[in-house]
Every structure is written in C-alpha cells, then in structure tokens.
Amino acid sequence: MTLGPDEDNVVGRVDLGRSTTIIFSVKPWKGRPLAHVRKFVSTAKYEGPTKAGLVMAGDVLLEVIDALRRLHAAAPGAHSQEFTRVAKRDDVEIVISTVEPDDIKALPSVDVREFVDSPAYAGPTKRGIRFPWEKLPEVLHLLESQAQRLGAEVKQEKTLFPEAHPPWTEKAERLDQPGRTSHDAVLAGILPDGPKDFPDAFVEAKVKCHPVLQLPAEPVRVTQKPDGKYAVTSDFGFSVPVRNAAEGNYIVYAQLRGKKAVRLPKEMFAVFSAVKAYENYVRELQRALVLAYERKTGHKPMAEHQARQAFKRFGLPWLQ
C-alpha cells in the first residue's frame, strides 16, 4: 500500500486485512504537531486514506492510551458495551467500547470513536477506528510510540520559556518504563510474584552440569533431523545437538524465560525431571488462568486469549 508524501511522518501501521490498514503518524495541523490515526484502504477502485480516523493532541492521546490499557486489563466479555469516555473538547468525547462479534466463538472488536453533543446532532461520528481485540497490543504500542514522538517534537519547539512544556510531555517520556501496564486482577491473584523461574526453580543446586551454553538473541526451537537425532536451532544459523527432545525443550524453555545462557545437567534423569515438573507446572497454570479469566469474562475465547497473552508476557510455553 502506498502511503504518499507523508510517509516520513509515519510511526507504524496495523494491518486489519488484505485491503485495510490503520496508519499511525505524527504531523503538523494548523502549525501544531498532532497524532493522526487513519484508516487506509487499497482496492481496485481506490487506494488511500478514508474519513475514518482520529486526530489527537498529546494530552488527549495519553488519556486514550490509559483507557485502552485499562480495557485490556479488564478483559470484557463478548457483549457490546461502552467502557469509558475521554473528553476532547466541550462538545466532543472519544468513546471507547467493545463490539460484540458475529460469531460467539470469536473475540469482540474495540471501537474508539468521537461522539458529538451539539444542537444539530448528538451521537457517534465517522471519526474513529475499529479493530479486532487481538490487535489491541499492537495498537497500544503504536499509540505509545506516537505519544513519545509527539512529546519530543513539542519539546523541540522554540518558546519564550523552554522549561514550561506541557506536563503530558514528561508522562509521554515514561510510557516505555517497566510496570506501566494497568493492573490485572486475575494475574495479581494467581501470580502475585510472577511465575517460577526455569530452570533454577526446577533443578537442585547440587546437580552437576555441562559448561555454559550461550544462547542466541533470536528464538530457538527443537528440530529432528532425517537421521532421527535432535538439535536446537534458529533461523539464523544457531545449531546445537541435543540427546533428545526433552533436552532440547530444556534449552527452549530457558530461553523463553529470558536466559541468555544455560547449563545443561549431565545426568539425563535431571533433565527429564526438570522438564517434566516444569511442564506440569505450566499446564496447571494454564488451566488456572483460563478458568479465572472465564469466571471474570463469561467468555471462553476471551479467557483463552488473555491467558495466552499472559504466557507470552512472562515467557512461558503454551502447551497443548
């Protein structure tokens, strides 16, 4: 999809389908840098921006980000419902809501839309965006990137009092700091201190190990070669032979938990024992999270999705 002359202003994009994309950019409007979120389409008849989208100043953008973070943590059910409102100006509010899917097995969509309240008309407008729930983390990430870029541009503007920048610019700088996500009551209840570490929590300190194996930055996986032997490999040339699939999983699970190096136990029994205990722990955690989210949302697809997102966040393998 061609973005046109404003491509340098683009922060990122979220693809909604083969012909629909949401473009996030920061560019001036009436001499003032603003965050632009616009739906683009690419069809046989037309390629370019649509009327669907939002334009926000930094303070409003930060409130929208906070609202979407809280929505993500709230994990609503499948039914359509208004979540919250963000004031944009006296007669305009940005309403954040969920939209019920056509298929009960699917997840809801998120709608972020301007509502007006004027003598001529009161209600929703075409100025807004709608996207699947699964895209919410991507949308949030790009909104946060917009806010940081917008804050940096505002701070670079020449003013009589450079130190008197809007307070929201300081908040924008801290968006990517750890712990900035909204509170998730389910995770707080089941994993108040986070998940157990691997392999440290599953291997006795006295177990004898091989020398340290350095792991690559890219993801690794267990593969079986034509001769039946196993190896842990990556897409960028990393390859280490292992005695069996369990030993391979030992390495994979360690890397998922953020380990940059790992020491493999010499005794195969210690490897099997650690991997088996960890997989039992992970499966029980899966079950507990899905049940807790289902009790909260009343919607099993949402419960499984939120549990998977939590596993991804903590670097845990999703086991069937």
**pLDDT tens digits, one per residue of 214-270:** 999 999 999 999 999 999 999 999 999 999 999 999 999 999 999 999 999 999 999
pLDDT of residue 229: 96
pLDDT of residue 158: 58
Specify which of 18-32, 155-169, 170-184, 275-289 reaches the highest per-range mean pLDDT: 275-289
Question: φ and ψ at 238, to 5 degrees?
Answer: -70, 135
Tell me how far apart the alpha carbons of residues 136 and 72 are, in angstroms, rounded to a whole number: 7
Q: Is the pLDDT of residue 50 over 50?
A: yes
Average of per-residue pLDDT across 28-33? 84
pLDDT of residue 180: 60
Average of per-residue pLDDT across 199-209? 95
Q: Output the average pLDDT for the chain.
A: 91
pLDDT of residue 58: 93
Q: Dump pLDDT digits (tens) for 93-121.
A: 999 999 999 988 899 999 999 999 998 99
pLDDT of residue 236: 96
Average of per-residue pLDDT across 172-196? 83
Tell me how far apart the alpha carbons of residues 109 and 131 are, in angstroms, rounded to a whole number: 5
Which carries the bigger pLDDT value, residue 29 or residue 132? 132
Structural domains in the chain, CATH included, are 7-183 (3.30.2450.30), 188-314 (no CATH)
**Cβ atoms < 10 Å from Cβ of 104:** 10
Tell me how far apart the alpha carbons of residues 109 and 137 are, in angstroms, rounded to a whole number: 13
Q: Which residues of 155-185 are buried (b: 16+ CB within 10 A; e: fewer)?
A: eeeeeeeeeebeebbebbeebeeeeeeeebe
User: Angle between the 268-297 and 300-314 helix axes, to the nearest 10 degrees?
Assistant: 140
Q: Quick one: what percent of the chain has pLDDT higher than 70?
A: 94
pTM value is 0.83
